Amino acid sequence: MAKEIAVCYKDTEEIAMLSTTTQIKKFRREQGVWEVVDILPTVLGDISGIAELREAVASVLELLDGCKILVASSFIGAAAYHLEREGIHLWESLDADLFSLDDILSKDEADQDVCETAETKQNFVTDIGNGIYQISLTDIQRQNGIITSKQILMPILSAGTFYELQIDCCHIPPWLEGELAGDIYDFNVEPLPGPSKYRLFLTKKTCTSGI
């Protein structure tokens, strides 16, 4: 099965931030070889309102046309947040040669393998009751140094089946700040003694049944 990766460019050569992208190149890997299969002009620019945000996200999704991996030099802002919510896998890189695309594809497949397993939830999520759950990123990553905070938390956040999620961590992951910038969660941070320096209280504004 062919694999596809889309890469954001400014003009023709420079890999761009999502917000400064002027074209998206789609690469397809068949029989071990990456080839450009499409070049898609696009201008996102500054987004000043909800209507423009929805239009920008819809435009990128249309251009990707089923491709789930998008590469840029950086992803900042609400558009990136909403693309990720739509199931697009965002990767930051300054290179798009054969080896870097293979590396991104390998990491993405490993990322999805971890996200699809229920092991993290079963072994590390504590049900406190009343829709409140607790998880320690510090403990999980001490036992498995390869797994990332995103691999641990995204399946739980995507399910959204909690009232409050308490996250013990050494620092707030930068990608999580994008989630907190939306209007889905209220949050509070308290200091902790010991290896976990912080406890992040993530409260969902609406609630369904338990995890």
d(CA 210, CA 205): 15
pLDDT in tens, 170-193: 888 877 877 776 667 888 899 988
For 3-114, CATH gives 3.30.420.130
Residue 168 CB partners (closer than 8 Å, separation 6+): 134, 135, 136, 137, 138, 139, 192, 196, 198, 199, 200
d(CA 141, CA 131): 25
Average pLDDT value for residue range 65-88: 84
Q: Is 70 exceeded by the pLDDT of residue 71?
A: yes
Average pLDDT value for residue range 66-76: 88
Length of the chain: 211
Residues of each domain in the chain carrying CATH 3.30.420.130: 3-114
- Of 58 and 144, more confident: 58
Q: What is the pLDDT of residue 208?
A: 47
pLDDT in tens, 117-134: 444 444 578 889 888 999
Q: What is the pLDDT of residue 181?
A: 65
- Of 93 and 71, more confident: 71
Q: What is the pLDDT of residue 195?
A: 75
pLDDT in tens, 11-29: 767 888 888 888 899 999 8
Distances (CA, A) of 181 to 41, 124, 177: 29, 26, 6
Q: What is the pLDDT of residue 209?
A: 47
DSSP-H helix ranges across 20-88: 50-64, 78-85
pTM over 0.85: no
- Whole-number average pLDDT of the chain: 80
Q: Is 80 exceeded by the pLDDT of residue 165?
A: yes
* Beta bridge partner(s), residue 133: 127, 165
Residue 114 CB partners (closer than 8 Å, separation 6+): 120, 147, 151
Q: Is 80 exceeded by the pLDDT of residue 111?
A: no
Average pLDDT value for residue range 100-123: 67
